[in-house]
Structure 1
Amino acid sequence: MKVVGHFINGETCTPKGRMQEVFNPATGEPEKLVLLASAQTVNETIVTAQNAFSEWRNTPVSKRARIMFNFKHLLEQHAEEIIALIGAEHGKISHDAAGELQRGIENVEFACGAPQLLKGEHTKNVGPGIDAWSEFQPLGVVTGITPFNFPAMVPLWMFPLAIVCGNTFILKPSERNPSCAIFLARLLKEAGLPDGVFNVINGDKEAVDALLNDERTKAVSFVGSTPVAESVYTQASARGKRCQALGGAKNHAIVMPDADLDNAANQLLGAAFGSSGERCMALSVVLAVGDDVADRLVDKLQTGMLGLKAGHCSDPANDFGPLITQQHKDKVAGYIASAASDGAHIVVDGREPEGLDEGFFLGATLIDNVTSDMASYQAEIFGPVLQVMRVESMQEAMRIVDEHEFGNGTCIFTRDGEAARYFSDHIEVGMVGINVPLPVPVAYHSFGGWKRSLFGDLHAYGPDGVRFYTRRKTITQRWPSSGVRDGVSFSFPS
């Protein structure tokens, strides 16, 4: 089988070492092998990135931006190849993969504005003959550790902005679907990026630990499950690194009695089952206010689910594809079983999807009468499962949302502006939608949740991304007039 290696110093390389299989989730069969980097390979990559940093940091910011403009053009030119790679190793349907790529390209567009983003501030005559200014300087070698569910978009959240800010970058993508990152690296080289500025190493925990423990890497951006995110943040912070670690989610939608239920049901179906629910922004819980609303909504959801199609990524008529592994499929099925045993009602059971015997497929599942003490509610299922909870008021719904350990995303469906404003002002969640089920911020804002959905002070991409990948230096300068010398002063300057 083909071996997917690394991209280091402008070249693909496959040194001897441990390997593991890369599966096609739609067939359940291994189709490639991926090389797992050793600590020695990580060390060599860090040296490469260090050597490239001194020249890259001094490259004019306008030239860095032009490379990003070239990169954006190449991403658009090779979109179909990237979409095919996402489908082959993740199983994502082509139209969904195209949306993922487009949201990634938007972050490249934001990075193209580097001359404006990095120009700093200047004040003349802050004191007699004294000028002051601030500038944004790069950190050095920075790293990104990305998940399987967005093999193009999440890396594009990180490295374009980090690189255009003057850093060099080491990406460790998910070993489940490694090919997309290598393809992006080749496009960056074609765009004109100097060798060593962007490197990709594939690997597992050994590679991650080597990146985190090495004092030469100055920052790490991570996206994954909450237990791992917390561990990464603790490990990186203990070594003085900057860290933004995005963790898990349990995203709730509140459906008010005045909501347009037909529209809400349609929006919920897409938000819950798109990409097989393998999104950190997937809406996995509906809080229906009032039994009448719940009954009508469940009926509309059940009817809408009759037409949903799971299948292979190459058929755009399909709505969503398989889960990433057999182990994950079994885990999601286990949560469905636990909900039933805890007393919830399985309205639509997707555990045995018809005609999908091969691969890691799980059909869309709808569960009613879920309560907050159930394991299926408390966990991030990360699969095509939508749970319905019945509440008596908006206040009760908001209390349930606020009490959950995660605070990534949420939304409310309503026609009442007063209720929507109260909800957005008071809910303890980082990203909020008003009749918008997937409130993923655009590239010139920043992405991140609250509570145990984010570890670190700054959110991903956008303005927070610029702050994360740079450090401010402030210079105060005075040139005394000829022949004028100050005497000694022991007072604090003012």
Structure 2
Amino acid sequence: MREITHFIDGAAVSGTSGRFGDVFNPNTGEVQARVQLATAAEVDRAVRSALTAQRDWAQVNPQRRARVMFEFKRLIERDMDALAELLSSEHGKVIADSKGDIQRGLEVIEFACGIPHLLKGEYTEGAGPGIDIYSMRQPLGVAAGITPFNFPGMIPMWMFGIAIATGNSFILKPSEKDPSVPVKLAELMMEAGAPAGVLNVVHGDKVAVDAILDHPDIRAVSFVGSSDIAHYVYSRGTATGKRVQAMGGAKNHGVILPDADLDQAVKDIIGAAYGSAGERCMALPVVVPVGKATADAVRERVLGELESLKVGISTDPAAQYGPVVSQAHKQKISDYIQMGVDEGAELVVDGRGFSLQGYEQGFFIGPSLFDQVKPTMRTYQEEIFGPVLQIARVESFEEALHLPSSHQYGNGVAIFTRNGRAAREFAQQVNVGMVGINVPIPVPVAYHTFGGWKRSAFGDVNQHGLEGVRFYTKVKTVTARWPEGAVEDSAFVIPTMK
């Protein structure tokens, strides 16, 4: 059986813990590989390699670091098909979606190619008599990323792309459920010209996570996962003096006003709710139609779309989504569906009985649809993270604004309308970090920034864009004077610029 090792100091490294995690093929339910789980000593080995590499890497000028990013981009594009197939084989998402996963990460690499411009500091000439002031951004040292199973290509590149471009070295702890693509990315980074130790990959569970959070030489940690773990990572990491950004869960809403283009809105919502089997933090699992007529029309159109929605194996080009990542996750989704029934929501479509001929042991679950969902229900309050769409009916714009604003999560929200004033008012007032106007999945492009509010994010600095550059750097400000002539007397008061 294939064994997935760590990647430390530019080479594959076998672990010593004797502990392993199973890596499944979600299409068949079979174990296809096992991944080594790191000890704290192996995390320390990766950090020592990263420390050594970072000292020299930080001295490489930004333009040369950018050239490594350009070459890394070229190599990813060269290997796109193979990477997507590998990603799908472990995650279960369809090939087209896997390519999208990698492409969205690659867009942050493209952004990082502009690092010489992004690192330019500020300069003030003549701030005082013969005095100039300038600032510079310098790398933190060793940074680390802890990434989830749902985007094994995109999210690691969101993190290490900017961290490495700004002169840091990086320790990546990917999900043990689909770890092969992150290792391939590290190998390609070395092929692109990054020195050994600049990007290391250690696999593991809580042992590895705690070792990262406690290690005194790791200066920053970026995390994406569930909110409870995000809070844990943020609390433990900051307690040891680290800079931490920890992105948590979500329950994104799609508000549909009566004047919306319902055909387009429903098609958008179907893709956003069921794409990638709902395993996205920016999925849209709650639709909020305003008014009974709108709600009835939305329900009818959703049912029509579900009749033609195709679930298949990840290599089926006609499939719109594939299996979920594991049997345990499939069971969790099924349990939430039953919870919704028990809570009194109307289960209009039940996907629990879905089975794909020839792949009966795969982790497939069909699309499910609930109507009459109430804010008091646990299935509304919590993140299901599966192919389940809930209709939460409201009677007014104010109610529609209140639902996402008062929810514990505040990652993303969308509004569908032709009314510019209503859209503007909604975007301005809603208590959510990312807003789409007639856009169902409002993930910003790489040169803007990604981040939610409330329990969807812990920490003050978001992912990628200029926020990412700020997160992985520290500012140094220099005040310089070059005196000429007579020596001035010492000043015993605080300097001013009079």
The match for 2:158 is: 157
Give the deviation of 1:53 after TM superposition: 1.3
The match for 2:491 is: 489
Secondary structure class of the residue paired with 1:390:
coil
The match for 2:16 is: 16
Secondary structure class of the residue paired with 2:132:
strand
The match for 2:477 is: 474
Overall identity of the aligned pairs, in %: 52
Give the whole-Å Cα distance in 2 for the aligned partners of 1:8 and 1:190: 14
The match for 2:204 is: 203
Runs of 4+ in 1 over 3 A off after TM superposition: none
The match for 2:289 is: 288
Give the deviation of 1:288 after TM superposition: 0.8
The match for 1:146 is: 147
Which piece of structure 1 moves more, 25-34 or 353-362? 353-362
Asked if structure 1 preserves the Cα contact closer than 8 Å seen for 2:336 and 2:384, the reply is yes
Deviations 1:264-308 (A, max 9, x none): 110000000000000000000011101111111101000100111
The match for 1:320 is: 321
Paired amino acid for 2:197: G
Give the deviation of 1:122 after TM superposition: 1.2
Secondary structure class of the residue paired with 1:428:
coil
Give the whole-Å Cα distance in 2 for the aligned partners of 1:210 and 1:35: 16
The match for 2:385 is: 382
Secondary structure class of the residue paired with 2:203:
coil
Give the whole-Å Cα distance in 2 for the aligned partners of 1:417 and 1:294: 21
The match for 1:217 is: 218
Q: Please point out which of 398, 412, 417 is paired with 1:414.
A: 417
Give the whole-Å Cα distance in 2 for the aligned partners of 1:484 and 1:138: 39
Q: Where do 5+ consecutive residues of structure 2 fail to align?
A: none
Give the deviation of 1:125 after TM superposition: 1.1
Give the deviation of 1:19 after TM superposition: 1.1
Secondary structure class of the residue paired with 1:352:
coil
Deviations 1:359-414 (A, max 9, x none): 11110111000001111101100000000011000101111111110000000000
Give the whole-Å Cα distance in 1 for the aligned partners of 2:120 and 2:405: 40
Q: Where do 5+ consecutive residues of structure 1 fail to align?
A: none
Give the whole-Å Cα distance in 1 for the aligned partners of 2:16 and 2:456: 37
Question: Which residues of 2 match residues 53-92 of structure 1 at below 5 A?
Answer: 53-92=54-93
Give the whole-Å Cα distance in 1 for the aligned partners of 2:235 and 2:62: 33
Give the whole-Å Cα distance in 2 for the aligned partners of 1:197 and 1:265: 45
Give the deviation of 1:354 after TM superposition: 3.9
Deviations 1:406-432 (A, max 9, x none): 000000000101100000000000000
Asked if structure 1 preserves the Cα contact closer than 8 Å seen for 2:260 and 2:416, the reply is yes
Give the whole-Å Cα distance in 1 for the aligned partners of 2:313 and 2:224: 26
Give the whole-Å Cα distance in 1 for the aligned partners of 2:400 and 2:127: 52
The match for 2:3 is: 3
Give the deviation of 1:26 after TM superposition: 1.0
Give the whole-Å Cα distance in 2 for the aligned partners of 1:409 and 1:484: 63
Give the whole-Å Cα distance in 2 for the aligned partners of 1:383 and 1:19: 26
Give the deviation of 1:102 after TM superposition: 1.0
Give the whole-Å Cα distance in 1 for the aligned partners of 2:490 and 2:145: 50
Secondary structure class of the residue paired with 1:177:
coil
TM-score (normalised: structure 2):
0.98
Paired amino acid for 2:206: K
Kindly indicate whether residue 432 of structure 2 is the aligned counterpart of residue 435 of structure 1.
Answer: no
Question: Which residues of 2 match residues 182-197 of structure 1 at below 5 A?
Answer: 182-197=183-198
Deviations 1:128-184 (A, max 9, x none): 111110000000010000000000000010001100100000000000000001100
